[in-house]
Amino acid sequence: MPFDLASRLAARHADNLYRQRPLLESPQGPEVVVDGRPMLAFCSNDYLGLADHPEVKAALQRGVERWGAGGGASHLVIGHSGPHHDLELALAEFTGRPRALLFSTGYMANLGAVTALLGKGDTVLEDRLNHASLLDAGLLSGARFSRYLHNDVDSLASRLEKAEGNTLVVTDGVFSMDGDLAELPALCAAAKARGAWVMVDDAHGFGPLGATGGGIVEHFGLGLEDVPVLVGTLGKAFGTAGAFVAGSEELIETLIQFARPYIYTTSQPPAVACATLKSLELLQRESWRREHLNKLIRRFREGAAEIGLTLMDSPTPIQPILIGDSARALKLSALLRDRGILVGAIRPPTVPAGSARLRVTFSAAHSEEQLESLLSALAECWATLAKEEAPDA
């Protein structure tokens, strides 16, 4: 039988790698209803708590009344509406770059940027832990593709020496499963020394990082010459949907002409752009959201250390608890769920073999009391897991 799908699915089950979709029956927020049960959630990327913000929702509603429900066509046909244009101008100003270009998803922004810039005879160098969309973009570009060791400048430098043609160094800003930051100043210096460009996907950095929420580039004080290609996602800290690429006039015009995922896709609903404009305003205006988020992160790391949990080196809202074994990660997640706490178990192939983890994420909408509830549940569940695994006396 050529397509033995049942065996593939059975193998996923046997390896504790089978994935299931929880059914969300409420808006995004700390307190949700999932699969019919009220839960306290620590697994969303809504880092600033804007997905259910009343001003953002009102902006979306006004946008629907003014602009209708759908984009109608691609940007290059008749789908580029006033709100799209206004949002691109606002994002360019926010990032301190001449231009910005909207994409319907972050995956498409990454595919579009890499494949428009590179082709046969060129080189793309990527961090080993980059998001799947970046790795897929590199493979689809047709360029010579190589992955350097995670955040290892020496490993990158050795590959840069062998690079041919136009060379693009591609990295996440904040690594989505580890929560650590790219060593961007050193990576940019190594790339610049060899005449290579740097592209950063700062999907998880915009909002939480930087003095004004401008992400990892702002965090490190870097500019357009250091990072010519900057990608941001709007479905995480912005609380809406879509993505953008920000850069020079020539870069954006090149993407408009050559980025197939941009050219051949219907634009996002204009009302979503209206909502994102309001999110951007709140992100910049309400700095208390980042301050509160950082307070939660510090307290969680202190509490987790007291319990004896192994955390990864992350200063961001992504706080993975390293477990190792996939079955153990699933068990700990299930124990927490039984106590009304929702934290996802992340397993291979999303993360390397032997590094299964619980990916705890925080939002500015979480209260200190909710954080303490998480820590109490973790302490109880961790002790229960250890007791169940202990050999009989």
Q: Binding site membership for substrate: which residues?
A: 19, 131, 350
Task: Indicate the annotated binding residues for pyridoxal 5'-phosphate.
Answer: 106-107, 176, 204, 233
And the tokens for 93? 């100003």
**Cα gap 13→325, rounded to integer Å:** 14
Task: Indicate the annotated binding residues.
Answer: 19, 106-107, 131, 176, 204, 233, 350
Catalytic one of 53, 84, 219, 236: 236
Of 231, 242, 208, 211, which is closest to residue 314 (Cα–Cα)?
Answer: 208
Kind plus residue range of the DSSP H or E element containing 54: helix 54-67
Per the document, the length of the chain is 393
Look at the alpha carbons of 114, 120, 122, 123 in this order and tell me if their dihedral is positive or negative.
positive
Torsions phi, psi for 144 (to 5 deg): -65, 125
Burial class (CB in 10 A: 0-12, 13-18, 19+), 256: middle
Catalytic one of 53, 75, 204, 278: 204
CB atoms under 10 Å from CB of 6, counted, come to 9
- CA count, 13 A, side-chain hemisphere, 197: 20
Residues forming beta bridges with residue 72, ordered by sequence position: none
Please confirm, yes or no, whether 204 is among the known catalytic residues: yes
Of 364, 368, 361, which is closest to residue 288 (Cα–Cα)?
Answer: 364
**Cα gap 300→368, rounded to integer Å:** 10
Taking CA 263 as the corner, what is the angle to CA 261 and CA 267, rounded to the nearest 5 degrees? Answer: 85
Burial class (CB in 10 A: 0-12, 13-18, 19+), 1: exposed
Catalytic one of 81, 104, 141, 176: 176
Please confirm, yes or no, whether 192 is among the known catalytic residues: no
Quickly list H helices, 200-325: 216-220, 249-258, 260-263, 270-285, 288-307
And the tokens for 67? 């602009």
Please confirm, yes or no, whether 176 is among the known catalytic residues: yes
CB atoms under 10 Å from CB of 252, counted, come to 21
Active-site annotation, residues: 176, 204, 236
